[in-house]
Structure 1
Amino acid sequence: MKHDRTLDSAAGPNFHEFLEWAREADENRDTVYEIEKISTRLDLTGEELDLVPADLAYFEKVIAVSPYGAVSRSKDLDAARKRGNSRVRSALQRFLAARGHETPDAGARASYDKAIGFIVENEGFVDSGALFTTSTHKPFLLVRARARLTLPDLDQAEFDRLWCDATPDGRKSLRKFARRVEELRRGHNTWPELAVLLPREDFVVPAATDRARRIPWETLPADFRADAEEVFRQTLRQPADMKTWAKEQMRLGRPATEINAEISARRGHKKKSPRNIATATAGYRQATTWLLRESFSPESGFAGLTNLRELFSTDALEAACEAQIARSEASDTLKKPDESSTLWSRFTNLTTIARHGLRDQEILARIDLVKMFHSDFVLSPIEMTADAEAICDRLRKSPHLAATFVNAPSRLSEIAAHELAQATTDFARDRGLRLSACSAAYAIQVSRALRPANLFMTRNKATPGCPRNLTWIVEEEHAEIRFSGGEVKNGEAIIVHVRGNDARILWQWERIHRPSLMKLRGIDASPYLFPGTAAPRLRKSTLNMPSGCMSVAAIMELWDLGDRQLGLGLTPHQCRHALATLMLAVRPGDFATVASVLANTEQVARRHYGKDSGEAAAMAVRESLLAHHPDIFARMKGRI
């Protein structure tokens, strides 16, 4: 999240001014408390509130979705966060109105009330005579709360504004709203009393402004793709390929000195070949579409795009870099350009292609020069310790979050059991079952934090050419999850042991709740522990990975559902940082164990967690935990 910005008289109101206004205006005490919590929720100090814009759009996209666990120990953190957000949102609207800013007014809201009221009165089972299915009105609620125009006057420009300001969940509601409006307007003769209350036009969902335009590889010209794929094959030549080629050249009578010289030239400075050809090829394709995105338009049929070599111009490289930096700077949700490793990743792939595929020194020089021009934004992942240090700092300031992390599987399992016992609708049952899935995912992560690509690709059933990962050593007591080197990013084999209560939670998900969720969602069969209907994004060259996994969007929704109950604000990958921090708190300086558990090298572990700031933060976490939650050490030692 981004809060650091240069403020001046034209910058608009900020949260410090908002807080002062709330105190002077005698706002409710609970509302003032919620505003004071914002700095902690955003990992800021109270003095840094002036860096946070008092803007409704910023509030919805950044503040409302920020973790709540650091400021509350409520048993129902999701409800507490919603209640707190509601108080701040209402007060912020009053503050902006007092400052003369445009905010939603009561008259506009009333126009939505009429339409929503009519829909609600006629919702139910269509087979029983109801005009609309249950929940038809729900997408209208978000628009009513945010729109500045009445419902009949709502136009595409206002819809675009709402879309731009919305969170990912809000955009889902807006997408449903656009479909509902289209459906209801088509049936205007069936319900004329509603037709006059609806917008006068259908809405087009705009493209995301902070994401690059997607260019599917298959949409590129066939000649260009064929040329690029051949270059990729040259780039990825394996030792066995080189041997075959060399033998063929010797059979044709070519001098051995020439063959040896060409082999040396082809190898260049390449230290090792990629272990996963499919992943490497996907990276080359991604870098290629990134490079051509700003220089060629799909509307023109990619006119002039004939071969990969001609794509590597200085202008194309400059344009791609500048567009990447601009997207990052303009977005509230993307990392800042000098904290992202995207440019490093793109340059690495392009350099590899130029050196080992094209073997063109001029292109290599262009890449190096453009890389130098933007060196402030070319950040290697091994330099990205800010994320790890931020988590260390959060655990130090709020040691109860460490207890929440360690106890996350049990907490989520209890919530899931309660919600399933109370569920009377399919929606409620689906929510309870997904919470059970999230508790199982946490049971694995607190045992040995995996990379998300491995966690959500775990298989409990073998398929042709693809073995299972999950094996029960002792039913309900001890599970073993094993990944071969070909499945892991750095080629290191991983074995995860899930024991005790974590194992019971995992067993309950796999044997009881997983089949129930599959039946509820109409999933016939899936070999994955976390089932879905998607295909793996990156196929492994050593495995015949089947379809039936969760999509990335479904994974993030699942994880977000659990995090709303925990208030940790951790992504699946950030669990690795949290676990490493706690391990170093339990065993100070034991980077070898951290590296072993995270399937990294000790060198990488030291880079991430061994710098003065990271190690000091881990020791501060240790002191805080000893003072507030000494029982965590026994639990952590039992896991490691």
Structure 2
Amino acid sequence: MKAARRVPNLEIEDMKHERTLTNTASATFTDFLEWSKETGQGRDTIYEIEKVAARLDMTDEELELIPAELSYFEKVIATSPYGAVSRSKNLETARNRGNSRVRNALKRFLAARGQQTQDAIIRASYDRAIGFIVDNEGFVDRGALFTTNTHRPFLLVRARAQVGLSDFDQTEFSRLWHDATPDGRKSLRNFAQRVGELRRGHNRWPGLADQLPCQDFVVPVTSDRARRILWKSLPVSFRADAEEVFRQTLRQPADLKTWAREQLRLGRPAVEIDKEIAERAGKKKRSPQNIDSALNGYRQATTWLLRESYASEAGFAGLTTLRDLFTVDALEAACDAQIARSSASVTLKDSAESSTLWSRFTNLTTIARHGLRDPEVLSRIGLVRMFYSDYVLSPTEMTADAEAICDRLRKSPHLAAAFVNAPARLDAIATETLNTATTGFAMERGLRLSACAASYAVQVSRALRPANLFMTRRKATPGCPRNLTWIVDREHAEIRFSGGEVKNGQTVIVNVHGEDARILWDWDRVHRPALMKMRGIESSPYLFPGTASPRLRKSALNLPSGCMSVASIMELWDLGDRQLGLGLTPHQCRHALATLMLAVRPGDFAGVASVLANTEQVARRHYGKDSGEAAAVAVRESLLAQHPDIFARMQRRT
């Protein structure tokens, strides 16, 4: 699937901490905690600081690995799951309260060390402007100067800025942007928009004009992600050459049969034709099942390769053929840039634990072997791959994510119970929010929580890949069947995906029963239409509607527009996770379900594979290691001690 929004991962690796500490001040959370105790900070504040280690799945002794920096706190700690350290009925409120205590204490700690000595003066400059805006907010058509909540984007800037509002410039805006979380960046976008609006209307409120920044702001490109290159931005001649190479790469058995017959009719000897077919096929074991997905991978690998060799789109004019890109210098530059981006970010995976380079090299090797059919290019790719072998990690080796989920469930069995009960929990919060809503914002929040509950109702029944979950269609369109069928209203729903829609080509059927079915029904028939009306969405065949188009088209289906964008999906999921405190992404729900299934039936990898629509070999690779299977057994023992009825519920689900 958040570069849409990424849900924070609870696993913060030691290597990543060590890398961070080498580039930051020497103060750590150990120093921060000691200072808090010595200076008599509030008991609750000290408790929240002590919880940070558990929130990051670390020990108390490892607090010394966490830098005492506001930017690190906002980006990593403040966004970390809270369910492991609290069982509050309102986890979001509890987390916000805890974050506020730690944040304010951290500011005092930094000030005591000689940092941010102008904090009070800086804050006062924002307070004056915010106070003026708040006093004049309301209904504009009734005489108010500003609409309600105009001041809200200023609150985040006031909390993070190191200069006063009138001195706030593009440099400070860019600093806040690069340190901000995805939610924070949304607020900063709103801040930039508000400042522009207020500056343009300065004649209407001279009392505010002299307090505002003297310039508009440009949203910078995030440093965490690579510069995006659109395929259509490349020269037409280069694209034509590349597309022909890709077509040769993706040549299907039917295409080879047609070509062979044509060559025979032209009088070529059969032995030559047979030899060329063998060369074209190479070591390819099978043809791609999803041509569109494979083609997209080839395009991404190509733009990845040329990104560092061409600093701007102006240089693309010199591109002629795809073959010219495959130089050792270009390959090494692309690898170095990929590793550097990962090393500089605390939100991206560590370069030694990411499969990105493996994916890029696999696609480039396939293009060279079956499209270009050039031994020299193939050897260059092979050599550079050997140079960077420490960073070329196959997805088959990437079981750390699954192991982390197993370990978290073992340490915090109540999280497993929270996962199993997630649909009912979210539905109760959504119902309460809708019943007490007095504003459109509260009403929309309640409807979105209902969507979260529905998505969890599906995931705990049979955890789907996110691409399938959020592409579920409740209505057929031309060339595209529906997935959702109500067998019994409110009691039994069936969601069916054909092999052409699933990553590995397997047919997947999800049956949602009982209370989960009721939650799904309420979303489908009651709350979904209400949310569509509120957002002005006229029609959509998708269970989770939006206004976007599917990112990856399926060759066997004519997928319609009207789905949620990736960013909207991650925001929706994050809204639900803030209530649950699980710290799971939609895909990680698959790991959680597998762990719980093995706790119910230890060693049943075939059952896990069946539920997850994987092979038994994949299930054993992810969950059959000592860490995975032992964790499942430990989860069972802990859960039985604290939640003796949970396995009865799991048995009904699986």
> Please, what TM-score do these two structures have when normalized by structure 2?
0.97
Do the aligned partners of 1:93 and 1:103 also contact (CA within 8 Å) in 2?
Answer: no
User: How far did 1:270 drift?
Assistant: 0.5
> Distance between the aligned counterparts of 2:143 and 2:378, measured in 1?
70
- The amino acid of 1:638's aligned partner reads R
> Distance between the aligned counterparts of 1:322 and 1:446, measured in 2?
41
User: How far did 1:116 drift?
Assistant: 1.0
1:443-522 matched pairs, under 5 angstroms: 443-522=457-536
* SS in structure 2 of the partner of residue 300 of structure 1: helix
- The amino acid of 1:33's aligned partner reads Y
Is 1:94 paired with 2:108? yes
Do the aligned partners of 1:466 and 1:544 also contact (CA within 8 Å) in 2?
Answer: yes
Do the aligned partners of 1:70 and 1:567 also contact (CA within 8 Å) in 2?
Answer: yes
Do the aligned partners of 1:146 and 1:162 also contact (CA within 8 Å) in 2?
Answer: yes
Change in Cα spacing, 1:10 to 1:529, as seen in structure 2 (3 Å) is closer
Structure 1 equivalent of residue 7 of structure 2: none
Structure 1 equivalent of residue 4 of structure 2: none
Do the aligned partners of 1:459 and 1:528 also contact (CA within 8 Å) in 2?
Answer: yes
* SS in structure 1 of the partner of residue 418 of structure 2: helix
Structure 1 equivalent of residue 224 of structure 2: 210
* SS in structure 1 of the partner of residue 46 of structure 2: helix
Change in Cα spacing, 1:197 to 1:510, as seen in structure 2 (3 Å) is same
Is 1:359 paired with 2:373? yes
Is 1:338 paired with 2:352? yes
> Distance between the aligned counterparts of 1:100 and 1:177, measured in 2?
29
Cα offsets for 1:428-457 (capped at 9, x unmatched): 111100000010000000000000000000
- The amino acid of 1:404's aligned partner reads A
Structure 2 equivalent of residue 319 of structure 1: 333
User: How far did 1:67 drift?
Assistant: 0.1
* SS in structure 2 of the partner of residue 302 of structure 1: helix
> Distance between the aligned counterparts of 1:496 and 1:235, measured in 2?
35
Q: Count residues in correspondence.
A: 640
Do the aligned partners of 2:91 and 2:581 also contact (CA within 8 Å) in 1?
Answer: yes
Structure 2 equivalent of residue 627 of structure 1: 641
Structure 1 equivalent of residue 624 of structure 2: 610
1:263-302 matched pairs, under 5 angstroms: 263-302=277-316
- The amino acid of 1:59's aligned partner reads F
Higher RCO (CA < 8 A, seq sep 6+): 2
Cα offsets for 1:229-283 (capped at 9, x unmatched): 1111111111111111111111111111111111111000000111111111111
Do the aligned partners of 2:233 and 2:313 also contact (CA within 8 Å) in 1?
Answer: no
Cα offsets for 1:70-125 (capped at 9, x unmatched): 00000000000000000000111111111122366111111111111111122222
> Distance between the aligned counterparts of 2:118 and 2:106, measured in 1?
12
> Distance between the aligned counterparts of 2:557 and 2:375, measured in 1?
36
Do the aligned partners of 1:104 and 1:145 also contact (CA within 8 Å) in 2?
Answer: no
1:31-50 matched pairs, under 5 angstroms: 31-50=45-64
Is 1:525 paired with 2:577? no
Change in Cα spacing, 1:631 to 1:103, as seen in structure 2 (3 Å) is farther
Is 1:262 paired with 2:276? yes
Q: Which moved more, 1:35-44 or 1:423-432?
A: 423-432
Cα offsets for 1:311-343 (capped at 9, x unmatched): 011111100001000000000100100111111
1:15-414 matched pairs, under 5 angstroms: 15-102=29-116, 105-414=119-428
- The amino acid of 2:468's aligned partner reads N
Change in Cα spacing, 1:137 to 1:417, as seen in structure 2 (3 Å) is same
Structure 2 equivalent of residue 5 of structure 1: 18
User: How far did 1:9 drift?
Assistant: 11
User: How far did 1:630 drift?
Assistant: 2.0
Do the aligned partners of 1:217 and 1:289 also contact (CA within 8 Å) in 2?
Answer: yes
User: How far did 1:149 drift?
Assistant: 1.0
> Distance between the aligned counterparts of 1:434 and 1:580, measured in 2?
27
Do the aligned partners of 1:399 and 1:621 also contact (CA within 8 Å) in 2?
Answer: yes
User: How far did 1:292 drift?
Assistant: 0.5
* SS in structure 1 of the partner of residue 318 of structure 2: coil
Q: Which moved more, 1:324-333 or 1:289-298?
A: 289-298
Do the aligned partners of 2:499 and 2:508 also contact (CA within 8 Å) in 1?
Answer: yes
Q: Which moved more, 1:83-92 or 1:130-139?
A: 130-139
Change in Cα spacing, 1:429 to 1:232, as seen in structure 2 (3 Å) is same
- The amino acid of 2:112's aligned partner reads A
Structure 1 equivalent of residue 3 of structure 2: none
Is 1:587 paired with 2:601? yes
> Distance between the aligned counterparts of 2:24 and 2:402, measured in 1?
35
* SS in structure 1 of the partner of residue 219 of structure 2: coil
- The amino acid of 1:35's aligned partner reads I
Cα offsets for 1:324-376 (capped at 9, x unmatched): 00000000100100111111111111111111111111111111111111111
> Distance between the aligned counterparts of 1:409 and 1:103, measured in 2?
47
> Distance between the aligned counterparts of 1:85 and 1:420, measured in 2?
27
Do the aligned partners of 1:105 and 1:148 also contact (CA within 8 Å) in 2?
Answer: yes
Structure 1 equivalent of residue 452 of structure 2: 438
Q: Which moved more, 1:18-27 or 1:28-37?
A: 18-27
> Distance between the aligned counterparts of 2:351 and 2:368, measured in 1?
25
Do the aligned partners of 2:605 and 2:620 also contact (CA within 8 Å) in 1?
Answer: yes
1:566-581 matched pairs, under 5 angstroms: 566-581=580-595
> Please, what TM-score do these two structures have when normalized by structure 1?
0.99
> Distance between the aligned counterparts of 2:530 and 2:22, measured in 1?
56
> Distance between the aligned counterparts of 1:569 and 1:510, measured in 2?
26
Q: Which moved more, 1:102-111 or 1:241-250?
A: 102-111
Do the aligned partners of 2:24 and 2:67 also contact (CA within 8 Å) in 1?
Answer: no
Change in Cα spacing, 1:375 to 1:9, as seen in structure 2 (3 Å) is closer
Change in Cα spacing, 1:272 to 1:403, as seen in structure 2 (3 Å) is same
Structure 1 segments unaligned to the other structure (5+ residues) = none
Structure 2 segments unaligned to the other structure (5+ residues) = 1-11
- The amino acid of 2:48's aligned partner reads E
* SS in structure 1 of the partner of residue 360 of structure 2: helix
User: How far did 1:299 drift?
Assistant: 4.0
> Distance between the aligned counterparts of 1:538 and 1:423, measured in 2?
37
User: How far did 1:128 drift?
Assistant: 1.9
- The amino acid of 1:19's aligned partner reads L
Q: Which moved more, 1:308-317 or 1:197-206?
A: 197-206
Do the aligned partners of 1:103 and 1:148 also contact (CA within 8 Å) in 2?
Answer: no
Do the aligned partners of 1:296 and 1:303 also contact (CA within 8 Å) in 2?
Answer: no
* SS in structure 1 of the partner of residue 547 of structure 2: strand
Do the aligned partners of 1:388 and 1:577 also contact (CA within 8 Å) in 2?
Answer: yes
| RMSD, matched Cα | 1.2
> Distance between the aligned counterparts of 1:591 and 1:9, measured in 2?
44
Do the aligned partners of 1:104 and 1:147 also contact (CA within 8 Å) in 2?
Answer: no
User: How far did 1:11 drift?
Assistant: 4.5
Do the aligned partners of 2:342 and 2:350 also contact (CA within 8 Å) in 1?
Answer: yes
Structure 1 equivalent of residue 8 of structure 2: none
* SS in structure 2 of the partner of residue 527 of structure 1: coil
> Distance between the aligned counterparts of 1:66 and 1:539, measured in 2?
33
